[in-house]
Amino acid sequence: MATELRTTGWDFVTTKVDKRAIQRQNPDDPREHLRELEARGEVKIIPITEENQPIEVETLLGRTKLIPTTKLWHHKSCGQCGNIPGYPTSIIWLMNRLGLEYLDETHQTSCTAWNYHGSGTSNLVALASVAVRNWHRAYETGYFPLIHCGTSFGNYKEIRNLLVEHKELRDEVRRIMAKVGRELVIPQEIVHYSEWLHVLRKRVAALKVYDASQVVTTVHPACHVWKMIPDDVIYDREIYGGERPAPTTAILLELGAKVRDYSTWYDCCGFGFRHILTEREFSRSFSLERKIKVMVEEAQSDVAITQDTGCTTTLDKNQWIGKAHGYHYDLPVMADVQFAALLAGADPYKVVQLQWHTAGWENLLDKIGIDWRASKKRYEAYLEELKNGAVPEQLYLAPND
């Protein structure tokens, strides 16, 4: 076959038949289309302003992303608040230490995406309406939404893109928002807390009061954070040579901990959305075989560091049952923000709330030099005080909502 014909034929196949050509050009930047939609009056953008003191970072395709650092609206995670309460309290504690402004209130629902991925009992319009309702609530308060949960982050990136792409979806969501007295608004950027922690890592590390240089960490990156809409994820040439997402790993390095690689870094945790409830043998087997075992045996990890809700739960809760098959692992599991708060001197019980975690974390704290026994005594005494009617301590004075 003549070279010319071969080239022409290949061009035809790649452009017309198997659509391989889509790989040759970067996907459109939805944020550009968003600005066009706003200019046409179709949507309102929740802007990142000077008040948010944003920091610019680079994402996968070399685009820039603005990460607001203050005046933030906490878009809480149901799995974190319900099951890993030290996750949000560590975020709030660090924000207090850094003197940042935020709003934590009751006018938020979950994104409902866990249920959707697990059960299918919702639909695109409902997911988009829930997202826009939460966004609009943040918008009317003047605070910028900071999303705590990885699945909410992934879902909201996807919903943002679909709203930008499909007029029919915008029209339908706008109709529903009118029924609840709200408007179609879309944030300028969809921002995960791990990105906020990433851009503030030097300031957070400056708070450090404990030495973590002897601590070997292994990172579990959350699938819905970096595999869903991957072009909207922060990459840094200094971290993994720019070949893997930078958040979480970068803060650990900044805190002075060792970050050790392991061969199943790319694997999911085994959460599975429905599996963690209804196919638990899968979640148990996968998290043990493909993550915990490898983190311990390959990397001799002291602690698994996460950046999402379901991952923290799955990796933490599924270790004990491994004894039934001769797995005697007891690897502490906690989020990056909990680890950072611990090193900055947060109380392991009252603030970081490690008592809700299942895998043993006491040896890790001994290694760092944190006196968890004294913390436990203070906590137990505090529980007694509360039983006797004491007013609960607050990290934050809630608005009158």
- Restricted to residues 208-247, the positions that interact with another protein (CB under 8 A) are 223-224, 226-228, 230
Q: Residue 71's CB: how many other CB atoms inside 10 A?
A: 20
Among 54, 272, 332, 348, binds another protein (CB under 8 A): 272
Q: Which of 3, 23, 213, 400 binds another protein (CB under 8 A)?
A: 23
User: Candidates 104-112, 183-191, 203-211, 300-308 — which segment interacts with another protein by CB under 8 A?
Assistant: 104-112
CB atoms within 10 A of CB 114: 24
Interaction of residue 92 with another protein, rule CB under 8 A:
yes
Chain-centroid distance of CA 11 in Å reads 41
Nearer to another protein, 31 or 357 (CB): 357
Tokens representing residue 145 in the block: 């939404």
The pair of three-digit structure tokens given for residue 116, joined into one six-digit string: 């959707």
Q: Which of 33, 174, 203, 280 binds another protein (CB under 8 A)?
A: 280
Toward another protein, which CB reaches closer, 54 or 270? Answer: 270
Q: Whose Cβ is closer to another protein: residue 279's or residue 366's?
A: 279
Binding of residue 290 to another protein (CB under 8 A)? yes
- The tokens describing 233, both together, are 């994820």
Beta-carbon contacts of residue 7 (< 8 Å; ≥ 6 apart): none
Name which of residues 292 to 351 contact another protein (CB under 8 A): 317-321, 350-351
- The least distance separating another protein from the CB of residue 50, rounded to whole angstroms, comes to 28
- Give me the sign of the Cα torsion angle 304, 305, 307, 309: positive
**Least separation, in Å, of the C-beta of 195 and another protein?**
18
Q: Contact, 84 vs 313, CB < 8 A? A: yes
Give the three-class secondary structure for 254. helix
Nearer to another protein (CB atom), residue 48 or residue 304: 304
Question: By rule CB under 8 A, what string of x and - marks binding of each residue 71-90 to another protein?
Answer: -----xxxxxxxx-x--xx-
- Nearest one of 49, 59, 55 to 245, comparing CA atoms: 59
Under rule CB under 8 A, residue 53 binds another protein: no
Q: Considering the complex, what minimum distance in angstroms separates the CB of residue 360 from another protein?
A: 9
- Residues 166, 90 contacting (CB under 8 angstroms): no
Binding mask 180-199 for another protein (x = CB under 8 A): x-x-----------------
Among 286, 327, 339, 361, binds another protein (CB under 8 A): 286
Measure the CA–CA gap between 168 and 170, rounded to whole angstroms. Answer: 5
- State in angstroms the smallest separation of the CB of 161 from another protein: 9
Residues from 110 through 169 that contact another protein (CB under 8 A): 110, 112, 114-126, 129-130, 133, 137, 154, 162, 166, 168-169
- Nearest C-alpha neighbor of 259 from the set 216, 198, 211: 216
DSSP-H helix ranges across 262-347: 275-278, 280-286, 293-297, 309-317, 336-343
Q: Which has the closest alpha carbon to 68: 162, 181, 200?
A: 200
Q: How many residues bind another protein (CB under 8 A)?
A: 102
